[in-house]
A and B are shown apart, each in its own frame.
Chain A
């Protein structure tokens, strides 16, 4: 019988709760309270997340975000700024001791991205891993990931771009100078793609989730069993949301 992991489909939530849930699952898994977990989720309202080491004011046009109702949050993982709009976000939480994840961080990026690549395969998209943390189709980025390790447990989360609006994305991000904004936008348009662009049609969130579920099951040779957050995870997530992700100290520190 295959090993069983938990699958969480938490739907669409705001950025602060989304990030808090990933952390709550990480903590609970590290304490052995919940099994290894794969989670699929979306963002409502759309939001920008920045990497742990980035400077909020340096990366994001905060006034414009507030004006058009885009939230922003600092992640507990490193990496770059991401505009989360029409995408499926995955997260995976596994103890470091599990045979599925390498002690070597780079190797484990590759392995987890392998699950997402298989997922794209089920949608009829041929993609490949572009180290450090991207997945590309014909050289264009379709997914980016970030990993942290705490309490001997791995958390990796990442985007699966269903559609992308580069103009909107760049209206929210700071650019070194206005002069090069147009050039940057056209460069990024060349370097980023999405499921919609590749397939020439829209694929709904649930369909992407089904494909990604199969991808993770196949890559890790496990059965993903749909479950729910435990009461403890929900309580903890709400506390982390308030204490960390909604706090100005956390989001604005440089």
Chain B
């Protein structure tokens, strides 16, 4: 099942997410996180996309996973945050 969302992060940038997920189980197959935000280091977004594969489309699961990747890789977002990202991902769910 494929979904797409466009979400203006409050006080932030425009987030566009392309999501491929299992409609039965609710697990993420593939995710592409795009938009006009900033992230340091830039390459960490690909790490985050990989780490989100297999994660359940559930608010708490997502936010915990995202925060742990942010911490582990020392990611700094500008115009985006874990909250906004989670919201954008869940908006892809039909």
Interface residues of A (CB under 8 A from B): 51-55, 58, 76-81, 105-106, 132-133, 146-150, 176, 254
B33 at the interface (CB under 8 A from A): yes
Q: Which residues of B contact A150 (CB under 8 A)?
A: 41
- Tell whether, in the assembled complex, residue B16 and residue A52 are in contact, meaning their CB atoms are under 8 Å apart: no
Q: Which residues of A contact B33 (CB under 8 A)?
A: 53
Report the nearest A residue to B6, measured CB to CB: A176
**Best-buried of A51, A53, A54 by chain B (most CB within 10 Å):** A53
Q: Which residues of B contact A147 (CB under 8 A)?
A: 38
B82 at the interface (CB under 8 A from A): no
Q: How far is the CB of B76 from chain A (nearest CB, A)?
A: 7
Q: Which residues of A contact B35 (CB under 8 A)?
A: 51, 53-54
Q: What are 27 inter-chain pairs, A to B, with CB distance below 8 A?
A: A51-B35, A52-B42, A53-B39, A53-B42, A53-B45, A55-B16, A55-B32, A55-B34, A76-B42, A77-B38, A78-B36, A78-B37, A78-B39, A78-B42, A79-B36, A79-B38, A80-B13, A80-B14, A105-B38, A105-B76, A106-B78, A133-B38, A147-B38, A149-B40, A150-B41, A176-B6, A254-B32
Q: A53-B45, A58-B16 are in contact. Are A81 and B36 (CB under 8 A)?
A: yes
B79 at the interface (CB under 8 A from A): yes
Report the nearest A residue to B76, measured CB to CB: A105
B18 at the interface (CB under 8 A from A): yes
Chain B 56-82, CB-CB to A under 8 Å as 1, else 0, gives 000000000000000000001011000
**Whole-angstrom distance between the alpha carbons of A53 and B40 in the complex?**
11
Q: Which residues of A contact B14 (CB under 8 A)?
A: 80
- Tell whether, in the assembled complex, residue B37 and residue A254 are in contact, meaning their CB atoms are under 8 Å apart: no
**Whole-angstrom distance between the alpha carbons of A81 and B14 in the complex?**
12
Q: Which residues of B contact A51 (CB under 8 A)?
A: 35-36
- Tell whether, in the assembled complex, residue B40 and residue A105 are in contact, meaning their CB atoms are under 8 Å apart: yes
The count of residues in chain B whose C-beta lies closer than 8 Å to any C-beta of chain A is: 20
Q: Which residues of B contact A79 (CB under 8 A)?
A: 36, 38
**Whole-angstrom distance between the alpha carbons of A183 and B6 in the complex?**
18
Q: How far is the CB of B45 from chain A (nearest CB, A)?
A: 6
Number of A-B contacts (CB under 8 A): 56
Q: How far is the CB of A196 from chain B (nearest CB, A)?
A: 25
Q: Which residues of A contact B34 (CB under 8 A)?
A: 53-55, 58, 254
Q: Which residues of A contact B6 (CB under 8 A)?
A: 176
Interface residues of B (CB under 8 A from A): 6, 13-14, 16, 18, 32-42, 45, 76, 78-79
Q: How far is the CB of A49 from chain B (nearest CB, A)?
A: 12
Q: Which residues of A contact B78 (CB under 8 A)?
A: 78, 105-106, 132
Q: A79-B38, A146-B38 are in contact. Are A132 and B79 (CB under 8 A)?
A: yes
Report the nearest A residue to B38, measured CB to CB: A78
**Whole-angstrom distance between the alpha carbons of A147 and B37 in the complex?**
11
**Whole-angstrom distance between the alpha carbons of A149 and B74 in the complex?**
13
Known: A53-B37, A80-B14. 11 other contacts (CB 8 A): A55-B16, A58-B34, A77-B38, A78-B38, A78-B42, A78-B78, A81-B36, A105-B40, A133-B38, A148-B40, A254-B18
Q: Which residues of B contact A254 (CB under 8 A)?
A: 18, 32, 34
Q: How far is the CB of B27 from chain A (nearest CB, A)?
A: 21
**Whole-angstrom distance between the alpha carbons of A53 and B42 in the complex?**
8
